[in-house]
């Protein structure tokens, strides 16, 4: 059965999944790149940038596993871009250039409708205004029996956690303190929601923690 998986989601020691004040100049929020430092050294990241080289250790292997068996993605609108409110036009096509790294249908949660956007390499952004259950149903149907990956950002992951809809959650816990930003677990009782830590694997620049929902 198709699972809903969060993979490679970076958090600081103090539980932030993004820095504050996301915008065009700070796609990950202020100081957000400190969260992704574990990923920037990997062969996978370099390949995504069209570069050779990169490290092939634990961090890279776990990041690569996160792309295996995925038939569709779900993103929040802020992960798709920095524009807030009604779309002024259809110019913004995501942070990732002409060929985004998804290569599947990608369901973007938003309150502001927009026609689907087909990109090179098989990615199609489809904008969903009917909420998280509708996005999951559409993504599951599109995934054709494969898993659905929930990419983020923080507000979107929190909604799916609160509804206990995420089957597996891989966190890359970075040894940094952000102090402020988007708090992943604020006011969420993960135990009561049925989550438990299944395993943890020390990587080169992050501690990889795998949570699974029981039942």
Ligand X SMILES: NC(=O)c1ccc[n+]([C@@H]2O[C@H](COP(=O)([O-])OP(=O)(O)OC[C@H]3O[C@@H](n4cnc5c(N)ncnc54)[C@H](OP(=O)(O)O)[C@@H]3O)[C@@H](O)[C@H]2O)c1
> Which residue among 2, 4, 17, 94 contacts ligand X (CB under 6 A)?
17
> x/- string (CB under 6 A) for ligand X, residues 170-189?
------------x-------
* Rounded Cα–Cα distance for residues 53 and 156 (Å): 33
CB of residue 125 to ligand X, shortest distance in Å: 13
Specify the 3-state DSSP secondary structure of 54. Answer: coil
Burial environment of residue 36 by CB neighbours within 10 A (0 to 12, 13 to 18, 19 or more): middle
84 vs 118 by CB, closer to ligand X: 84
* Options 44-52, 96-104, 145-153, 160-168: segment touching ligand X (CB under 6 A): 145-153
* Options 42-50, 66-74, 150-158, 202-210: segment touching ligand X (CB under 6 A): 150-158
38-76: b or e for each residue (b if 16 or more CB lie within 10 Å)? bbebbbbbbebeeeeebbeebbbbbbeebeeebbbbbbb
Contact residues toward ligand X (CB under 6 A) are 9-10, 17-18, 22, 27-29, 32, 35, 76-79, 84, 109-112, 131-132, 151-156, 159, 182
């Amino acid at each position: 059965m198709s699972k809903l998986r969060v993979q490679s989601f970076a958090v600081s020691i103090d539980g932030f999944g993004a820095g504050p004040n996301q915008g065009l100049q700070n796609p990950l929020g202020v100081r957000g790149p400190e969260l992704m430092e574990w990923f920037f050294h990997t062969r996978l990241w370099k390949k995504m940038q069209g570069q050779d080289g990169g490290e092939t250790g634990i961090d890279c292997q776990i990041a690569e596993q996160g792309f295996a068996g995925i038939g569709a993605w779900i993103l929040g609108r802020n992960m798709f871009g920095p524009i807030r409110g009604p779309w002024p036009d259809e110019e913004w096509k995501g942070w990732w250039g002409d060929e985004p790294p998804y290569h599947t249908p990608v369901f973007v949660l938003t309150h502001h409708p927009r026609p689907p956007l087909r990109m090179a390499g098989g990615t199609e952004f489809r904008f969903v205004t009917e909420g998280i259950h509708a996005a999951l149903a559409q993504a599951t149907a599109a995934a054709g029996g494969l898993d659905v990956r929930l990419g983020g950002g923080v507000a979107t992951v929190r909604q799916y956690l609160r509804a206990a809809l995420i089957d597996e959650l891989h966190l890359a816990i970075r040894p940094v303190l952000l102090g402020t930003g988007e708090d992943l677990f604020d006011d969420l009782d993960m135990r009561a929601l049925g989550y438990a830590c299944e395993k943890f694997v020390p990587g080169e620049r992050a501690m990889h923690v795998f949570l699974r929902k029981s039942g």
